[in-house]
Amino acid sequence: MTDTTTSQIIGRHRPTIAHINLAAIRHNIQAELQRAKPGTEMFAVIKANGYGHGLVEMARATLAAGATGLCVAILDEALVLREAGITAPILVLGVTPVTWAQIACEHNIALTVGDQQWLTDAAPMLTGQLRIHLALDTGMGRIGFQKPTELADGLTVLAQYPNKFNFEGIFTHFATADEADHRYFDHQVQRWQAMMAVVPRRPRYVHVSNTATSLWHEACNGNMIRFGVGIYGLNPSGGSLTSPYPLEPALRLTTRLAFVKRLAAGDSVSYGATYTARHDEWIGTLPIGYADGYPRRMQGFYVLVDGQRCEIVGRVCMDQLMVRLPREYPVDALVTLIGEDGAETITMQDIATYAGTIHYEIATNLNMRIQRVYEN
């Protein structure tokens, strides 16, 4: 069993909180399941601490909402779920070193395999039957069998060790399913079909659909969907494509003013003195910074106080950042960094766009120092 002890501190004694709306999680999963063909299963992708929403909590919430299995990135994430008492099927999407194949076998965890050599090396080590999913590289260029002949060789090894391997799944991953141009997507579909032509018996799970594929190419779903970023109400295209149903964002990030002061004209704020007040103004300090995963490059963006946009002034510090207030507010006044306040809303995509990245990175960078509170 993995060692799950950690020295990671959760900030329970400061007011910076990620509020996770479980009703939104349920809505997003059930809306997708309603669109799927009857009999289609869903494995919820909860890797990277549930995309920043909490690993174990998201496992429980997604299974309760209708998911029939779970996907993680590394074996240790799967072992944490088993330690938490979760018995649902779990697939590790990344390549696990052969050394740890027996541990996965003992805990009934399915591993991804992308080449014949892994199977050959693992077989002598196993004392039971390991559940595996074969990964096919149809154009992602990441992991997996690349040619039909390679896949056929891998299937031959599986046939040689029926007591060592439970061939329960086969899959690929599309690189451009979230783009309007379908040409590369169609190229991958053709390669997938050519690879599958050498598979004489299809396993229980045949899956190609991540969130984007399931939203915009549902005809390709196979009999299982790997539903990931859509669980959390985030559009995988970043908004360039419209979801067939409203995705409800599940995470709201708030804090409170920790310090409020009057800044005189000519005074500067934060490292490098990159902001200097032109007039006397009120400055609020917030107890959150880049060590929490809020990007350092957000100077010039804004937060919401009392339903008003308040500019981030000066460089974001490791543990704090400063904002210009329209007037004096009391210490402990509520501040919204992600979510709604009055008529104003800040989305994770808004932050990502300003930071020059994608909302996946914003979500997964929100680290465990930020307390999670589960609502609804």
Q: Among all residues, which ones are annotated catalytic?
A: 47, 271
Contact between 336 and 254 (Cβ < 8 Å): yes
Which whole-number Å values give the CA distances from 72 to 83, 100, 121, 226, in the listed order? 15, 16, 23, 10
> Mapping DSSP to helix (H, G, I), strand (E, B) and coil, where does residue 148 land?
helix
Hey, is 31 helix, strand or coil? Answer: helix
Kind and range of the H or E element at 72? strand 69-72
Say if residue 315 carries a ligand binding annotation. no
State how far the Cα of 321 lies from the Cα of 294, in Å rounded to an integer: 10
Name residue 154's beta-bridge partners: none
Paired strand residues for 340? 345
Degrees (nearest 5) of the Cα angle 201, 205, 210?
130
- Please give the Cα distance from 283 to 260 (Å, whole number): 6
DSSP label at residue 145: B
The two most distant CA atoms of the chain are separated, in Å, by 79
In DSSP terms, 269 is beta-bridged to 275
Q: Outline where the chain has alpha helix (H).
A: 22-35, 47-51, 55-65, 75-83, 101-106, 116-122, 148-160, 183-196, 211-216, 348-355, 359-365
Determine contact, residues 229/236, Cβ cutoff 8 Å: yes
Q: Which of 276, 279, 319, 278 is nearest to 296 (CA)?
A: 319
- Containing H/E element for 21? strand 17-21
The single-letter code of the amino acid at 305 is V
Report DSSP letters for 121-141, one per residue. HHGGG-SSPEEEEEEB-SSS-
Q: Do the annotations mark residue 256 as ligand-binding?
A: no
Q: Which residues are annotated as a binding site?
A: 142, 318
- What residues form the annotated binding site for substrate? 142, 318
